[in-house]
Structure 1
Amino acid sequence: MARNKPASLEAALNGQQTQETEPETADVVRHPSSATLAPKVKNYEQVVAYVPTTCKKRLRMMCIEHDRDLNSFIREGIDLMLAKYGQPSLKEFESK
């Protein structure tokens, strides 16, 4: 059996009860930016790299200055490294 909620603090202190009301519910709304942004293709893996704090700050500033995301800079760097060592580019890995 559900208990009645008092209408106010004063009513609660006086021991008065009000008529039963439906419990209030709220819908959970997720902000679009809180959604996980995973690639559509499941052939991707996360790679973690540790860099000095000052380097991270510089990369973030570059993202703002060039209106790009950090992932695009990292992928560009990986492509340069792969080319230097004669390996296929990331685009070639994506097509496999």
Structure 2
Amino acid sequence: MAKKPASLEAALGGYASQDETAGSSQDSAEIVRHPAAAARTPTVKLTAYVPPAASKRLKMMCIEHDRDVNSYLREGLDMVLEKYGQPSLAEFAKK
């Protein structure tokens, strides 16, 4: 099986115009990673079933307070963990 081309120009068979290639001295693009990506802790996906009205209300709160649904769910989970004397999510992240 043939190796895939490394760039769009190579994939197009060198059909890029001379103006586009004259200014570029690099053959490949640099990959830039977001600094927070390295600091993330491993997570797993959970599913929660809620009434449609609660889902709608939660989405409205997200818009009103400029937050995402996950931040509210994590806040609620922290409250439940505290209520039952369990470590917080921040403490789990340290381990």
Q: TM-score range by the shorter chain?
A: 0.5 to 0.7
Query: Structure 2: where are the runs of 5+ without partners?
Result: 1-36
Bigger fraction of residues in helix: 2
Name the CA distance, whole Å, in 1 between partners of 2:44 and 2:81. 17
Name the CA distance, whole Å, in 2 between partners of 1:74 and 1:51. 12
Higher gyration radius (CA)? 1
Name the CA distance, whole Å, in 1 between partners of 2:60 and 2:41. 30
Name the CA distance, whole Å, in 1 between partners of 2:84 and 2:70. 21
Q: Equivalent residues in 2 for 1:3-82 (5 A)?
A: 41=40, 43-82=42-81
- TM-score of the two chains, using structure 1 as the length reference: 0.57
Per-residue deviation, 1:43: 2.0
Query: Structure 1: where are the runs of 5+ without partners?
Result: 1-38
For 1:21, the equivalent position in structure 2 comes to none
For 2:86, the equivalent position in structure 1 comes to 87
Instruction: Give the percent of matched residue pairs that are identical in Structure 1 and Structure 2.
Output: 57
- TM-score of the two chains, using structure 2 as the length reference: 0.57
